[in-house]
Structure formats: C-alpha cells, structure tokens
Chains A and B, each alone.
Chain A
Amino acid sequence: MEKILTRYGDGTPVEMSVDDIRRDLEEGSEDAAERGRISTLAKDELDHLFDIFSSPHRFIGVEPGKEVVLSYDGSPIKMLRAQVNVDRLQCLQIYEKLLGADTLEMGHMDYSFKPIKPIVTYEQPLLEQVLSVTTAPVFYGAMPNLGLYSQPDGPFPNPSELIPQGKIEEAMQSYEAAVDDAVADIVYVSSAMYESGADAIILDTVGAAGDADFLAGLKATAILKEKYPGICIELGMAGEFVLGMHSELTWEGVRLAGLYAHEQVKLAEKAGVTIFGPVCNTNTSESTPWNMARAITFMKACCEEATIPVHVNMGMGVGGMTVNDHPPLDVASRASKAMVEICRLDGL
C-alpha cells in the first residue's frame, strides 16, 4: 500500500498509509468540534487536506490570488536567538528587504510590558529611527504576561502557591490586583510607542496566565482605543481556550474561562481589537494531518464569526505547526497552504 511521508507534532518523520492519513484528518477535526462545540470540516475540505498532504512535492504554496498578509511576533528575538549579531533596526531591514515581510514587528528582548515600562524612553527613539529607515508598517509588540506580577517576580501573592493551600479567595484577589497593574503597564508602554509613531501595537500571547491575563488584554485594548481612536491593535492569543485560573472573571457580562477562539474573537471585537490572532495548540504525539485538521476546524469557526481581520498564529507549536526550533519545510508549507485556503484567512 502507498505510504505518505509526514511528521508527528514534534517534527519526527513518519510514513503513514492513505487510510491512516484520512482517519487522522477526520479524528483531528472531530476532536476540535467536540471540544469547541463547532462543526467538523466538510467532506470537500477533508479531501482538500488529503490532497495537500499527499502531494509529492517537498514544498507547496497557496494558489495564486489566495496570498495573505503576514504579521510577526518577537521578530528581533528570533534573530538574536540564532546569534545573528544585528541590532533590532538592521533586523527589521532584513525582514523587510530580504525575507519578504508584509509588516515588521519591533519587540524588546524581554518581551513583556512590565519590564519595558522603566526603559520605554530607550525604546521610543529606536522605534523612531526604525520608522525613518523602513517602508512597511511597523508594529510594537509585547506580552501582558501576568506571571510577572506575582511573587517573587512581582508585588502580589503567588496564586500558584495559594491555590494548593486552599486559599482560593486570596488567589482570586491576587489575580484581580495583577490585572489592574498589568493594564496600567500595557497602556503606559503602548501609549508611548504609539506617540512615537508605531503603526500598530501587538498584545501577544494574551491569556498565557489564564482568564485574568485575557481580561488585562481586553481592558487595555478598550482604554487605548478610547484614548487613540485611530490606533491599530493586534491581539494574539496564547492558547486555544482561556484557562480558568481565576475562573469567575467576566468582561461585558461574558465569563472568560473556557472560551475558544470563535468566542474570544467576539469579545476582542467589542474591546476594539483591529486584528485578532487565534491559536490552536499542537499535540506532539499526534500526526501533522491530525493536528492540521484539528487546528483548521477551530480556526475556520473563528473566521466565520469574525468581522475583523484574522491572522492565525502559525509559529512553533501552534496552528498545526511542529514543536521544533527548525520547522521542516514539507509539513510547514503544507500547513501554511491548508490553513489559508480552507479558512479564507486575512493573514498569518
């Protein structure tokens, strides 16, 4: 029987039969549909996915006319991680002139709003220099990262220590206090960078510390949008559903814990988000066909609900991409094509 080369979610190569690929596509979609209470992919969509995965070519792309806008997170960090010794300004010139980037993103090495706040006056002039030597839109990005607001890194008691002690009320109060501080930091830094000329602000990895983290992102967006009506805010999520670490937090009357991408985007729109970046996490022990069918099922539901542009997160370990520092081009290009063509996205 014909074998098709694909990979597990961790990037390890695996040969699968036609029947196994088809079974994984169906089961991946069913898993997402059951968790998110959304529709599974239609037969023609599963067939299209199968065609993509059974393509003999080592690299494939979308059909002409279906290209989408790309936005990024932590761009300079990735170049520094590879020990390419360029400053952030040159890094963004490389993205613009050599890597075909549609947008640029300047972020600090310590990619969270809290540590950027005391050094924002050093970030502003660099951004202003970047804006004077680039043409593509420049985003400034960072994470709410509520984990930095609890002890020993921050001022508030650590909920992860309080909860095992049964101090639930104290843990919830700590999360609520952290939200207020995080919102103040996000608004402070974002205001400064916007007033220095940033084309957009990215709140990245929102929800990483759970529902309080997501609440901070929504509140900060609403404040910034009221302060600067023309501001563009891209809100990128951390995971496929909002972890209920506090569990009772609400925004605009909606409980945040447990929301999936197609529900998150409606709140993002209400807050004033311009571009939404949903996430679906990759399961390393399942195949890429399983992960892609699952991710596309979640993301398609999100795109159907959205009235704002959607840029699906497709970095390492999300959007069906493998969890590996070196994404294999075979499955990465298939994932890119499949996500764009089936979800009818606005960007990645």
Chain B
Amino acid sequence: MGMAVTHAIASGMGGMRAAGDLVARMQISRGMKINEAKAYVAEKMKVAVSDLTDPVIMNEAREDLNLGLLHPHAGSPKCMEAKFNIAELLDIDINCVNRFRERASL
C-alpha cells in the first residue's frame, strides 16, 4: 500500500478529494493528454486549471455541480447519480451510466 499512498501524495491529482477522477475520465473517453484533459475539465467546471487539485475549492465546485463528494450529505448526488451529472457536464459517454439508463428503462 506504501506505493499507492506515496504516488497519490507526491504526484497524484487527489481523486475525488479534488478533480482527479474527472481528468481521468477525459483520458479514458477522449484519449486526451494530461494538459488538454485538465484544461477541458477546468473550462467545464468554470475553475482555473490550478484549482483542479485544491481540495477546498474543488469540494465547493463539486457540490455546486452535483458531481459527488468525498463526504456526501444526505440527499446529495452519490455514485451512480453523480456519474449521470459528470457525463452531462463533461459531455462524455460513461459506459455504466449508459447501461444503467438502458436497464432501468430511463
């Protein structure tokens, strides 16, 4: 586990603490290189690129945009619900969201 923790603190984007999961989605869905992916997510969230790894700023931005929180409140979008909102905000297909929509006949 030391390896995962070391990289997360030394070099990672912070995952859901910040916007690491969102930047990762642009690499996954569009094959974007890191700087392009960061710029794309920042523009969609209307924040600066430098804000993407700031847990304080990103917690507020994620809450405002309903993108899922590290410590979700009662009634706030979580997990699959948040992924519906992420797909819409980033204008990408998320595989499990599409399949959920199909299976739930939404």
Contact = CB atoms under 8 A, between A and B. Distances in A.
Interface residues of A, number: 64
Interface string A77-98: 0110010000000000001110
A278 interface: no
A118 interface: no
Interface in A177-199: 194-199
Residue among B7, B12, B21, B24 with max Cβ neighbours from chain A (10 Å): B7
B10 A61 contact: yes
A336 B6 contact: yes
Interface string A137-167: 1100000000000000000000000000000
Contacts of A332: 2-3, 6-7, 10
A275 to B, nearest CB: 6
Contact of B7 (A60, A70, A78, A97): A70
Interface stretch (A211-219, A259-267, A307-315): A307-315
Interface majority SS on B: helix, strand, loop or mixed? helix
Nearest to A321: B3
Contacts of A120: none
Interface in A280-330: 308-309, 314-316, 321, 326-327, 329
Nearest to B68: A135
Interface of A: 59-62, 64-72, 75, 78-79, 82, 95-97, 99-103, 128, 131-138, 194-200, 230, 232, 274-275, 308-309, 314-316, 321, 326-327, 329, 332-333, 336-337, 339-340, 345-348
